[in-house]
Structure 1
Amino acid sequence: MDLGSRVDTLMDGLTADLERLTAIPSVAFPGFPAEPVRQAHDLLVDLPHGAGVERLDLPHGAGVERLDLPDTAPVVVAEVPPPTPDAPTVLLYGHYDVQPPGDESLWLSPPFEPTPVAGGLRARGIADDKPNLIVHLGVLRAYEGRPPTGLRIVLEGQEEYGSAFDDYPPTDPDRFACDAMVIADMGNLRPGSPTLTTGLRGAAELVVEVRILDEPRHSGEFGGAAPDALLALLKVLSTLHDVHGDVAVEGLRREEWSGTTYTQEELRTLAGVRDGMPLIGSGSLGERLWGGPAVTVIGIDAPSVDQAASAVVPYARAKLNLRFHPQQDPDAALVTHLEALRPFGIPLTVTPGDTGPGFEPATGGPAYRAALTALREGWGTEPSYVASGGSIPLVNGLAKAVPGAEILLFGAQDSMCNLHAPNERVLFSELRSAVIAEAAFLREFAAAHRDGSAA
């Protein structure tokens, strides 16, 4: 039986397991109950056993264990030893926590009740990232627990919010030792188009603050001479972009993008841009989305319109989110830009926040070549590559822990799946193809080691 036929026999069971897992509201954000996160963990500890992976306390066998870190949801770590001493080992990653559902009135069905849609299912987390956990399970079942490579399976429980696990791998490198990694927290640019992600933009946040007066003052009596904090802040924010909407902060890297990207129509639909509204920036969409920086004002504190008084504003602040080129070191370019400004002669207070570096994996090695062959087999068409404006902080930690391992980013999601948005969905066709592709990757990568082409 060929690999595709074998996976077809597994699909009903895999789909049922995906529904079970997605029905658990495993949101690991503060303010949400911890019990569903533990339930999802426990289910994932049990599921691999039926695929030939036994408990760690059995000697000389594969195993599943729990990794506990401070203030962090438990991490599932499973291991399948390589079939021969010279076979490679592959690390498979995914996360079982999900984003909060948000405004449930915007959902067409309850967010934690998996509901059929055309060709798939709708629910929170059913694309990000629970189907990729089921992909790993499907690969184990396809090989009846005896894959052609060794496996280290790492299933995280607090990726969406962030946790101590992001920085943990370099402190315990032996636990993550491998020859290649499949980071299954990504997917295809569009359904049916196999895609490798070859770049992740970095991310940083900061707060810029203007505090001038002790309290509001009558705008008729003092406006025009008394300094206005909100006017000063708006003048600062206006310096961040040029007339085209491109970022105008010196020192932020921007390069042309040569890979696949969205059409303008696709981007307008995905972003929900209203008819008649322009896109901002110049250059290709890939350059704007992935090859260069983006600065977004994600929050602002100022008097509300509904409660506004006729007064000069004494205080205002804004929170900025910066996305930067995958190969740019997290630096102080935006902070330097803001601190140099003196709107109307007024000094600013700039407070840097969290920063996460970008990532750009090496391509062209044996794992990358094996992945191209495997994606072609899984989807039946030529693969392409994209980057991502989102970041996965753990990837950098894994790269530091195992610097010699090739890192591949692909999975069962697609860009049309509404991840982090209402009515998130996954397609059965993408799930099936991802299982075939990951299983084929293990076969091809093992073969490359046997015939010496991985040297």
Structure 2
Amino acid sequence: MTSSPDQIRARVREVMPSVRADLEALVRIPSVSADPARADDVRRSAEATAELFRGEGFDDVQILTAAGGAPAVVARKPAPEGAPTVLLYAHHDVQPVGDPADWDSEPFEPTERGDRLYGRGAADDKAGIAAHLAAIRTFGDDLPVGVTVLVEGEEEVGSPTLEAFLTEHQHLLAADVIVIADSGNWDIGEPALTTSLRGLVDCFVEVRTLTHGVHSGMWGGAVPDAVTAMVRLLATLHDDNGDVAVEGLVHGKAADVEYPLDRVRAEAGMVDGLELIGTGSVVDRIWTKPAIATIGLDVTRTADASNTLIPSVKAKLSVRLAPGDDSKRAMRAVEDHLRTHVPWGAQLTFTPGELGEPTQIDATGPAYDAARAAFKDAWGGVEPIDMGVGGSIPFIAAFREAFPQASVLVTGVEDPDTRAHGANEGLHLAEFEKVCVAEALLLHNLAQG
């Protein structure tokens, strides 16, 4: 029986080759949930995931859906008498690869270079599945706690049916502790628990000034073009310091965590001479203050441009919300701002998009103590920090609402250079082993009470 921290660490090391092989097999399945043509691959990914947990002795393994959503895997092993039940979450769907030319190796062929394993999903989030496998495989038939595994199949498209899934299958998923393996650590060698996440609203804004394009020489100077009107409108979203200028959005204060400017510049890939925007500490700006970015623009390409005033232009805005905000109220605030500031009487069409609630976790209590002890042990005495995340994982709010009595631990395998969602996504292999050790130690610690 694997019982001491040293035995657990040694056993994790023994199982890592098989865990990595299983991870690589999953990465080879192009389970892109955003692409309808990949629906069969998403199903194949769910089936492969289910088979992995059947191989670990889980008798109750099902592939389930709700409200017509993508297939999710639920696998359950009952708790020993008196022990808690832990729900382990990950997702098996992945982002599109983008332009394959941007990748240094085939996106769906896992490739080791240096200290990383590259491939789409190698980190986000098939490594989360593999970390759960490693922890379970470490104990074999002697799991010290009850384990329920939930591996979702549509996280990368916003988990549209997850709330319905949690409602319909709540009897299968009830747990004392929920471990969500879809976040990251502060840095290589520095573990973290994610305790706050920004929310998200996005929207489409169309500005129209003309019913049709007209000659720029004949009408320019008197008649405004839509592109200039849009540029002026977008400029009102920030003040001169770069802080968001939309009234009514929540602002907060982050933990006292140092994020050196040289590290920010390197990890964000900032060009030489570029300045930061906003005020406050770096972590305030990326964890607990709102942010607005224009992430898409529909307008004439320069290659197709003629001397014509553009009649209409459409933009997509991504708005990140600070913890404590409300997504529906924030969407109204953004719309009100845009309608108030559209210049020169141009026509504005506002189309709301996705909503995702921000999250603030009170990371106190026995489960969090057990997690911090496990992380410290796995990282050789390095204390984990409580980290915010500027990105959004809206489904965490859904878990907290569905299981209000459960402690929710948000962990993960990513590091600042993982490049999740981008080209050359990569998993740092040494850190991945520490993640696996930490999760196994967490199960051990939770069993100890």
TM-score range relative to shorter protein? over 0.9
Give the match for residue 59 of structure 1: none
The answer to whether residue 203 in structure 2 is matched with residue 206 in structure 1 is yes
The equivalences for 1:9-20 within 5 A come to 9-20=14-25
The answer to whether residue 279 in structure 2 is matched with residue 278 in structure 1 is no
The equivalences for 1:23-422 within 5 A come to 23-54=28-59, 63-84=60-81, 86-168=82-164, 169-260=166-257, 262-330=259-327, 331=329, 332-380=332-380, 381-422=382-423
Shift of 1:24: 1.5
How many residues align? The count is: 439
Give the match for residue 451 of structure 1: none
1:80-133 superposed Cα distances (whole Å, 9 cap, x missing partner)? 10101x321111000011111111111111111111122231111101011110
- SS at the partner of 1:306? helix
Q: 1:6 aligns with which of 11, 15, 35?
A: 11
Question: Aligned partners of 2:262 and 2:399: how far apart in 1?
Answer: 36
Q: Which runs of 5+ in 1 are unaligned?
A: 55-62, 449-455
Does the CA contact (< 8 Å) of 1:191 and 1:416 recur in 2? no
Identity of aligned residues (%): 41
- SS at the partner of 1:387? strand
Does the CA contact (< 8 Å) of 1:170 and 1:400 recur in 2? no
Shift of 1:261: 5.3
Does the CA contact (< 8 Å) of 2:236 and 2:341 recur in 1? no
Shift of 1:355: 1.1
- SS at the partner of 1:262? coil
Shift of 1:442: 1.5
Question: Aligned partners of 1:288 and 1:218: how far apart in 2?
Answer: 44
Does the CA contact (< 8 Å) of 1:124 and 1:424 recur in 2? yes
Does the CA contact (< 8 Å) of 2:186 and 2:415 recur in 1? yes
Shift of 1:281: 1.9
Does the CA contact (< 8 Å) of 1:82 and 1:88 recur in 2? yes
Shift of 1:30: 2.3
- SS at the partner of 1:231? helix
Counterpart code for 1:366: P
1:325-379 superposed Cα distances (whole Å, 9 cap, x missing partner)? 0221111221121122241233422222111111112211111111111111111
Give the match for residue 425 of structure 2: 424
Counterpart code for 1:350: F
Question: Aligned partners of 1:227 and 1:425: how far apart in 2?
Answer: 47
Does the CA contact (< 8 Å) of 1:25 and 1:36 recur in 2? yes
Residues 255 and 192 of structure 1: CA distance in aligned 2, closer, same or farther (over 3 Å) = same
Residues 261 and 72 of structure 1: CA distance in aligned 2, closer, same or farther (over 3 Å) = farther
Q: Which runs of 5+ in 2 are unaligned?
A: 1-5
Question: Aligned partners of 2:100 and 2:11: how far apart in 1?
Answer: 38
- SS at the partner of 1:210? strand
Residues 346 and 29 of structure 1: CA distance in aligned 2, closer, same or farther (over 3 Å) = closer
Shift of 1:31: 4.1
Does the CA contact (< 8 Å) of 2:71 and 2:153 recur in 1? yes
Does the CA contact (< 8 Å) of 1:71 and 1:164 recur in 2? no
- SS at the partner of 2:412? coil
Q: 1:22 aligns with which of 10, 15, 27?
A: 27
Does the CA contact (< 8 Å) of 1:182 and 1:408 recur in 2? yes
Question: Aligned partners of 2:256 and 2:406: how far apart in 1?
Answer: 23
- SS at the partner of 2:354? strand
Residues 165 and 141 of structure 1: CA distance in aligned 2, closer, same or farther (over 3 Å) = same
Does the CA contact (< 8 Å) of 1:93 and 1:154 recur in 2? yes
Question: Aligned partners of 1:261 and 1:101: how far apart in 2?
Answer: 33
Q: Which moved more, 1:150-159 or 1:26-35?
A: 26-35
Residues 162 and 71 of structure 1: CA distance in aligned 2, closer, same or farther (over 3 Å) = farther
Does the CA contact (< 8 Å) of 1:185 and 1:411 recur in 2? yes
Q: Which moved more, 1:152-161 or 1:1-10?
A: 1-10
Counterpart code for 1:360: Q
- With structure 2 as the length reference, what TM-score do the two structures score? 0.94
Alignment RMSD:
1.7
Question: Aligned partners of 1:308 and 1:373: how far apart in 2?
Answer: 61
Question: Aligned partners of 1:272 and 1:186: how far apart in 2?
Answer: 20
Counterpart code for 2:311: P
Shift of 1:163: 4.2
Counterpart code for 2:294: V
Does the CA contact (< 8 Å) of 2:87 and 2:178 recur in 1? yes
1:148-195 superposed Cα distances (whole Å, 9 cap, x missing partner)? 211111001121123443222134432221111100001112111111
